[in-house]
Structure 1
Amino acid sequence: MKKAYRVKKEADFQKVFHQGESMANRQFVVYAYHKPEQRHFRVGLSVGKKMGNAVERNAIKRKIRHVLIEFDQEDELKHDFDFIIIARKPVQLMSYHEIKKSLQHVLGKAKLLN
C-alpha cells in the first residue's frame, strides 16, 4: 500500500475520530470520514499494545493492509473516504481469511464497500 494511501498525521486521525462516523463488530472498529474531493481512500491502522509485542502487532497490521489491497484491486472500496481501523483483541487469534471476512462485514456495515 502506497504511503499516500495512509492516514499518518495526528491531526488527520483526530479529524476522522471527531467528525467521522463509526461502525463496529467484535473484531474491528471503523471510523470513516467522507472527503468528496479525494481521489483515493486513505487508511490508518491502530493495534493496541494489549494485542502483543511489536512483532505480533505488525503482523496484524500487515494482514489488514493485505486485505485492503485486495479490496482495492477488486475495486470494492469507496475512494472518497479517510478511515481508521482499530483492531480488537479477538483479531490476535484469527487467520488471514477470518480477518478478511470480518473486515468485509464491518466495512459493509459502514457502507465503505461498492
Structure 2
Amino acid sequence: MEKKYKIKKNHEFSRVFEKGRSSANRQFVIYVLNKPEQSHFRAGLTVSKKMGNAVTRNRIKRLLREVIREMSDQLQEGKDYIVIARKPVTQMNYEEIKKSMKHVMNVAGVLKKHKKPYKQK
C-alpha cells in the first residue's frame, strides 16, 4: 500500500474508533468513517500482542495489506478503514483471510456495487 493510503497517526485511529461505525465477523472487526473531502480511501491495521510474537503479527499485517491492495478497486473512496484482526487469523492462510475480509467488508457495506454485464441471447 502506498503511503497516502495508510492511517498511521494515533489521533487518526482514535477519530475512526470514536466517530466511525463497526462491523465484525469471527476473524475481523472493521471500523469505517466517511470522509467525503478525501479522494481516496485510507486503511489502518491493528494486530494485538495477544496474537503472538512479532513475526506472527507482522505476517498477519503483511497478508492484510496485500488483501487490501487487491481489493482496492472494490473499496469505496472517501472513507477511512481500520481493520482489527482477531485470534483465529493466526491459523489462516492467505485465501481464507481474503475470503473473510471480503465477507466483513460486505457486511459493513463498503464494497462497490458492480453492475452485472448484460447477457446477449
- Structure 2: tracts of 5 or more residues without a match: 113-121
Q: TM-score, normalised by structure 2?
A: 0.91
What is the total number of aligned residue pairs between the two structures? Answer: 112
Matched residue of 1:31: which SS?
strand
Alignment RMSD: 0.6
Distance 1:39 1:17 in 2: 21
What whole-Å deviation, never above 9, does each CA across 1:65-104 have from its counterpart, x for those lacking one?
00011011xx101011001000000000001000000000
State the identity %. 56
Question: Which residue of 2 is the match for residue 81 of structure 1?
Answer: 79
Map 1:33-48 onto structure 2 (within 5 A). 33-48=33-48
Matched residue of 2:39: which SS?
coil
After TM superposition, which residue ranges in structure 1, 4 or more long, deviate above 6 angstroms?
Answer: none
Matched residue of 2:46: which SS?
strand
- Structure showing greater radius of gyration is 2
Map 1:31-70 onto structure 2 (within 5 A). 31-70=31-70
Question: Which residue of 2 is the match for residue 98 of structure 1?
Answer: 96
Distance 2:38 2:2 in 1: 15
Q: TM-score, normalised by structure 1?
A: 0.96
